[in-house]
Structure 1
Amino acid sequence: MVALSKPSIEQFFMKPSKPNTNPLIFPTIPLIDLSKPESKQHLVKACQDFGFFKVVNHGVPTKFIKKLESEALKFFSSPLSTKEKAGPPDPFGYGNKRIGRNGDVGWVEYLLLNAKPESDYQRYLSVFEENPEIFQGVVNDYVTAVKKMACEILELLADEMKLQPRNVFSKLLMDEQSDSVFRVNHYLPCPEFQENERNGRKLVGFGEHTDPQIISVLRSNNTSGLEISLRDGSWMSVPADSDSFFINVGDSLQVMTNGRFKSVKHRVVANSTKSRVSMIYFGGPPLSEKIAPLPSLIQGEEDSLYKEFTWFEYKKSAFNTRLADNRLGLFEKITAT
């Protein structure tokens, strides 16, 4: 772990959050069983109300999950000097504390990888004494299974919304040119923070943001830390669950549904004593793909809320902003009043 001086650690603290004004109506995170025929309507409702939900009976083999977490922990347990040989990220590779290029920081180290099966991880994983192809095979098995599950969810959503073709969303992930990425985050324990934690101060693990892609599939170990923003501006802690997957609606899916589905703002709070490992598949479209509200979802006198843009244009814009910025704001149509 990198030891930071006491003045430096202050930049990792969060500003005080807006408290939940009515804890009696604190919402419950939707839990959806993908094996049930009624899952379609539950998925649509969760995307509309939350933009976030948990799925069980997801079909991702437990052995893939356990193997990947084991390999990830092996990597993150390496000496910092060894891990840094796999960085800095450009955009892929190993990163530590710095998130993006616009000044965002978090108490996190991570490995960002291209999600395409043919991607070469040699540069990033040659730090392993063992054969780096082992890690690549484990990542490919996991990502393939998770992508299949993500596509199933997107097709169930299309079914329930009576969209044609059924793969109107999922084909963007299945395209050979799909710009999907895979990220493994490691939130290190921070003993220096323990006294502050007792005083109610929160340490930024990963700052508040929305995901710019179509859909995000998250799995973590049994350490909590993920929080989602509710409509009243308060933050809700997501209980840890290492057996399930959490799904985020991304900005691109919000645009394609003309705002019906909500891209949820979320963040991660670091822990003083426990490490947290999370693995996220970000399903993105090809760079040249045009993103705009689907014509079949614009009814009657309804207007399109967003300008058309390519994924390349939005990705470039998003990664030139700070995490907490309203990335979609630049692409919203201004309607006359």
Structure 2
Amino acid sequence: MMMFSHDEKSLFNFVVRDGNGVKGMVDLGLSYVPQAYIQPAEERIDKPRARTHAEPPIDLSKLDGSDHDQVVNQIIRAAETLGFFQVVNHGVPVELLESLKTAAHNFFALPPEKKAVYRKGVSPSPLVKYGTSFVPEKENALEWKDYVCMGYTNDDDALQFWPKECSEVALEYLKRSSKMVKKLIEILIGEVTNESKIEELMTVKMVNMNFYPTCPNPDATVGVGRHSDIGILTVLFQDGIGGLYVKVEEGNNKEEWVEIPPIAGSLVINVGDTLQILSNGRYRSAEHRVRTTSSQARVSVPIFIIPKSTEKIAPLPEAVERDGVAYYREFLYQDYRNNFFGNKHEGKKSLDFAKI
């Protein structure tokens, strides 16, 4: 493996341009955090001071029984308040989730040159992108994360183009989650839109595998900076190590960061910006971020459910009628995506693009 010197340009070329990633840097025996990864004090995560989210996971199997209405209310309340909730009995076998974790570790354990073939601009398929941090060219401090993003068009393309170390299990994870995702979206906006509209909003699906290598000083870094997701919903598998934090806004402009603890067999559901806009602000996309660890490398696997690029997004008419005013304008979804991916993570600033 090629070494890098201590200057910032050499490090950037080694990690980003050449595709070695954070893992490649750590594998050299790194005992310190390079300056390029040290976050300003206000962006660091104070783990000892953060409380743990105490709400139990929502049992989705009860949607088919006498507790249906109670579970629906739990889902709606969580989407209206925190924007995050955990679910169990969701239709994705626990054994599959364990295989997903193994597959993610197998991919990121590959030699750097085998992962680097999927870098943006050289990847053999536009469906697959391997990278590090978020928008490294624009970030003041880099994120301590490597990832591979796999876009879904159909099963055959996924099995042909996605990395073979994870293609089969990632595809199965996506397919097993789809019924649950549709059911959740129907609960959240089914009363104010029809099934064909829901299908259109679920057109694009992406599976990401995120890898957070061990870090010499987790207190000085972040795995992912504070942001909200831009789609309808995100389904997230956590591997049991922990590190996901969500901002809770309280009265008198008070806010705090709450850790979402990994619960065995559960999945995390995350409201995205698009759902906040469609609901005219009834549901909230939660600002969240990820902390690094010094003891174990961590993986997480989100599925992003987003509209197609040509979809026009605006508050649903019934939501505007309910509120008497539209809080967001109509826009082409591709423009929203371009704005989001063209800037560094900065909380929920991406929503400013859609506000009236």
- The TM-score bracket by the shorter chain reads 0.7 to 0.9
User: Are 1:94 and 2:119 matched, yes or no?
Assistant: no
The match for 1:56 is 88
Structure 2: gaps (5+ residues): 1-22, 63-67
For residue 105 of structure 1, give the secondary structure of its aligned residue in structure 2.
Answer: coil
User: Are 1:85 and 2:117 matched, yes or no?
Assistant: yes
Measure, in 1, the Cα distance between the counterparts of 2:354 and 2:236.
27
Measure, in 1, the Cα distance between the counterparts of 2:220 and 2:258.
14
In the TM superposition, what whole-angstrom CA distance separates every residue of 1:122-161 from its partner, at most 9, and x where no partner exists? 5662xxxxxx2x73222211111112211111112235xx
| Residue 267 to residue 153, structure 1, CA distance change in 2 (3 Å) | same
User: Are 1:219 and 2:248 matched, yes or no?
Assistant: no
> How many residue pairs are counted as aligned between the two chains?
311
| Residue 242 to residue 324, structure 1, CA distance change in 2 (3 Å) | farther
| Residue 44 to residue 166, structure 1, CA distance change in 2 (3 Å) | farther
In the TM superposition, what whole-angstrom CA distance separates every residue of 1:76-105 from its partner, at most 9, and x where no partner exists? 112223322332477732213454653262
For residue 239 of structure 1, give the secondary structure of its aligned residue in structure 2.
Answer: coil
Measure, in 2, the Cα distance between the counterparts of 1:256 and 1:111.
29
| Residue 7 to residue 149, structure 1, CA distance change in 2 (3 Å) | closer
| Equivalent residue in structure 1 for 2:351, among 308, 328, 336 | 328
| Equivalent residue in structure 2 for 1:188, among 203, 213, 217 | 213
Contact 1:219/1:244 (8 A) holds in 2: yes
| Residue 83 to residue 27, structure 1, CA distance change in 2 (3 Å) | closer
Contact 2:37/2:221 (8 A) holds in 1: no
Q: TM-score, normalised by structure 1?
A: 0.83
Measure, in 2, the Cα distance between the counterparts of 1:324 and 1:290.
24
The amino acid that maps onto 2:59 is D
User: Are 1:105 and 2:142 matched, yes or no?
Assistant: yes
How much does 1:12 deviate? 3.5
| Equivalent residue in structure 2 for 1:139, among 170, 182, 188 | 170
Q: Which one has the bigger helix percentage? A: 2
| Residue 59 to residue 167, structure 1, CA distance change in 2 (3 Å) | farther
User: Are 1:157 and 2:188 matched, yes or no?
Assistant: yes
Measure, in 1, the Cα distance between the counterparts of 2:40 and 2:255.
15
The amino acid that maps onto 2:234 is S
Measure, in 1, the Cα distance between the counterparts of 2:60 and 2:322.
33
The match for 1:33 is 59
How much does 1:51 deviate? 0.8
Contact 1:255/1:293 (8 A) holds in 2: yes
Range 41-50 or range 6-15, more displaced? 6-15
User: Are 1:249 and 2:271 matched, yes or no?
Assistant: yes
User: Are 1:12 and 2:58 matched, yes or no?
Assistant: no
The match for 2:300 is 278
Contact 1:85/1:124 (8 A) holds in 2: no
For residue 107 of structure 1, give the secondary structure of its aligned residue in structure 2.
Answer: coil
For residue 321 of structure 2, give the secondary structure of its aligned residue in structure 1.
Answer: coil
| Residue 322 to residue 98, structure 1, CA distance change in 2 (3 Å) | closer
In the TM superposition, what whole-angstrom CA distance separates every residue of 1:251-293 from its partner, at most 9, and x where no partner exists? 0000000000000000000001111110000000111111111
| Residue 105 to residue 305, structure 1, CA distance change in 2 (3 Å) | same
Structure 1: gaps (5+ residues): 126-131
The amino acid that maps onto 1:296 is E
Measure, in 1, the Cα distance between the counterparts of 2:284 and 2:324.
18
The amino acid that maps onto 2:222 is V
Q: TM-score, normalised by structure 2?
A: 0.79
Contact 1:158/1:166 (8 A) holds in 2: no
Range 90-99 or range 47-56, more displaced? 90-99
For residue 273 of structure 1, give the secondary structure of its aligned residue in structure 2.
Answer: coil
